[in-house]
Structure 1
Amino acid sequence: MAGKWFDELNVGDVFDHPIRRTLTETDNVLFSAMTHNPALLHLDEEYCRTETEFGKRLVNSAFTLGLMVGISVGDTTLGTAVANLGWDEVRFPKPVFHGDTIRVQTEVIELRESRSRPDQGVVTFLHRAYNQHGDLVAHCRRSGLQRKRPVAS
């Protein structure tokens, strides 16, 4: 199992995830279409070139958020998560464009035992996404319910 049990995690643990992802026009357009997001910022190159400060299309921030969290799963919660409890303080300090390569770092920032589920705990992660230049392009806090290591019988 790739994920970590709740009792294997410590506040301050940092995961530099080995998976990187170069974002394509197809990723952006398909995700925007699938989520019914018609924003010109994601779909209309001419509009972005002439009417925005960016000069080109932006990658849909909901895709960036999902990718950032998704990249973290294999090292942190794969097979050990019970449920995602929420995303807080989601921020996008710099834009993401087609062709950018994203890498992700995750830090464990809080752990607490579940009051109602003795075999589980609540973990809070701080996810950070960086582009190929090392610029922070996204970050969020994510809380999840995580299984503890099963007791041997």
Structure 2
Amino acid sequence: MAYSRSHLRYLEDFAVGQKFGGAERVRVDAARIKSFASEFDPQPFHLDENAAKGSIFRGLAASGWHTAAMTMKLLVASELQPAGGIVGAGFEEFRWPTPVRPGDELRVESEVLEVRPSKSRPDIGVVKIRTTTYNQKNEAVQVNVGSLMVPRKP
């Protein structure tokens, strides 16, 4: 469930060290892995269990881009809630340390690393966050560090 607009956060509402999660979970199944891969990342280890057994993954694995899309869904539903939406300025780090498998249940946590006003736009600022997506075993399946553009309080 997405948080209500009463929970929206402006730049001044963020502080280094704050952590945000959410109750939302995404359950992954083989059909969704294959569907996403057939359209956006059609490699054998994302499309076919038998082909995947002989791959570096040793079994069917979700595309990293599928994991990124599921992470975005979880972020939108999380406590993070920047007032202007989740508007990315870019990433410094993007890793997939553990493959996402059929049957995994994903959740997300974000930590604020830096908060600063924009040098060129006085109405916004930048919030740098580390977002980690975990499976049901508490293994990190995606870690990214990125910057969000966040409005300042009116």
Smaller-chain TM-score bracket: 0.7 to 0.9
The answer as to whether partners of 2:21 and 2:80 remain within 8 angstroms in 1 is: no
Distance 1:45 1:82, change over 3 A: closer
Which one of 55, 62, 72 corresponds to residue 65 of structure 2? 62
Residues 127, 139 of structure 1: 8 Å contact kept = yes
In structure 2, the residue corresponding to 1:98 is in which secondary structure?
A: coil
Report the counterpart of residue 6 of structure 1 in structure 2.
11
The DSSP-based 3-state class of the residue aligned with 2:87 is: strand
Match in the other structure for 2:39: 34
Q: How does 1:1-153 map to 2 (within 5 A)?
A: 1=5, 2-35=7-40, 37-49=41-53, 51-52=54-55, 54-74=57-77, 75-77=79-81, 79-81=83-85, 83-150=87-154
Equivalents in 2 of 1:148, 1:81: separation in Å? 13
Structure 1 alignment gaps of length 5 or more: none
Give the superposed CA RMSD. 1.7
The TM-score normalised by the length of structure 1 is 0.87
Shift, 1:106, TM fit? 0.4
1:79: Cα distance to partner? 4.3
Distance between the aligned counterparts of 2:146 and 2:9, measured in 1?
A: 15
Does structure 1 conserve the Cα–Cα contact (< 8 Å) formed by 2:82 and 2:150? Answer: no
Instruction: Name the CA distance, whole Å, in 1 between partners of 2:86 and 2:69.
Output: 18
- Partner of 1:106, secondary structure, is strand
Pairwise CA distance, 1:14:
0.3
Cα distance in 2 between the residues matched to 1:17 and 1:99: 20
User: Kindly tell me: are residues 26 and 78 of structure 1, through their superposed partners in 2, closer, same or farther at Cα, counting changes over 3 Å?
Assistant: farther
Change beyond 3 A, Cα 1:143–1:112: same
Q: Give TM-score scaled by structure 2 length.
A: 0.87
* Matched letter for residue 19 of structure 1: E
Identity of aligned residues (%): 28
Write the letter of the residue equivalent to 1:30.
S
Letter in 2 for 1:131: N
